Structure 1
Amino acid sequence: MNKVPMTASGFETLKEELRWRQQEERPRIIEAISEARSHGDLSENAEYHAAKESQSLNEGRIGELEDLIARAEVIDVSKLSGETIKFGATVELVDEDTEETRTYQIVGDQEADVKSGRISISSPIARALIGKEVGDAIEVNAPGGARGYEIVKVAFI
């Protein structure tokens, strides 16, 4: 059973989604199935089939969330320190071509959101950053081509 690294906030987000799916979404779907069933012939009842599909998707996600929560290895980023980049680090980079500054936090796969500056530990840029320090230059082979970055700052927030 492989452990899944995640931050405390990512763990709480998964627990909240599981609670919502079990306590709010599941009863709503059951009600929709019951309502559709009352309309008669199930073989040609689109509402019934849509509700059953929603139920299947919801139950699948509940199973996935329960598995992730059971295998979670919650890492308290505030207790980490050091100069070397590792899981949970917030890293400030400067693009060597455009001089544009970017800030990323390295998080677990389930909580990654590039738009909010959180990148997955398994992403190409995070893999290139792990083990590096301030002042190091990295090259990332991204889908758009190779990009060069210089590490300006490392923090554990």
Structure 2
Amino acid sequence: MKDHIQITESDYIQLCGLINSQRNLKLTEVKNLAFLGAELKRAQKVADEKLTPGFVTMNSLIEIQDLDTGRFMQVKLVYPKDADFKKGNISVLSPLGAALLGYRAGSVVSFDVPKGTKRMEIRNIIYQDETSSAEPV
């Protein structure tokens, strides 16, 4: 059974619009969209101001750990137009981005990559738009 995930109503609306606007996609992109769509369908939607702290939302800055290599990374979950892997900006349409959305700190997420399945633990939510008053450092 999958863990409970939670997303804000505004993220839900924007992400559904993003999914519906995609055209001329490669097969891998279609799979990523299908995965994200399935996650959105099962997510508990909450008003932005009622979001429980500690859940990954759009524009969250997150510390994750690759459970296969032990490597730690800081990533920011962003919309595709803002994605830049070298800067740590991970698109919500990527396998990792779609897997992170809606999970809380302490959760282990898994996602498929060409060489198999990766597992990441969400170690910390460093910054989250809905519950932070200051910009991330």
Relative to the length of structure 2, the TM-score reads: 0.54
1:120 pairs with 91, 98, 106, which one? 91
How many angstroms apart in 2 are the aligned matches of 1:3 and 1:134?
23
Correspondence for 2:54? 83
- Post-superposition shift, 1:144? 2.8
Instruction: Kindly name which structure, 1 or 2, has the bigger radius of gyration based on alpha carbons.
Output: 1
Higher RCO (CA < 8 A, seq sep 6+): 2
Q: CA RMSD in A?
A: 2.1
- Post-superposition shift, 1:88? 0.4
How many angstroms apart in 2 are the aligned matches of 1:104 and 1:123?
12
Correspondence for 2:101? 130
Correspondence for 1:152? 123
Correspondence for 2:76? 105
Q: State the 4+ residue runs in structure 1 displaced beyond 2 angstroms.
A: none
Structure 1: gaps of 5 or more residues: 5-79
- Post-superposition shift, 1:147? 0.7
- Percentage identity across paired residues of the two chains: 27
CA shift digits 1:74-115 (9 cap, x unpaired): xxxxxx982110100011111111110011101111110001
Q: Partner of 1:82: helix, strand, or coil?
A: coil
Structure 2: gaps of 5 or more residues: 1-12, 16-50, 128-135
* Counterparts of residues 1-157 of structure 1 (less than 5 Å): 82-156=53-127, 157=136
How many angstroms apart in 1 are the aligned matches of 2:56 and 2:116?
23
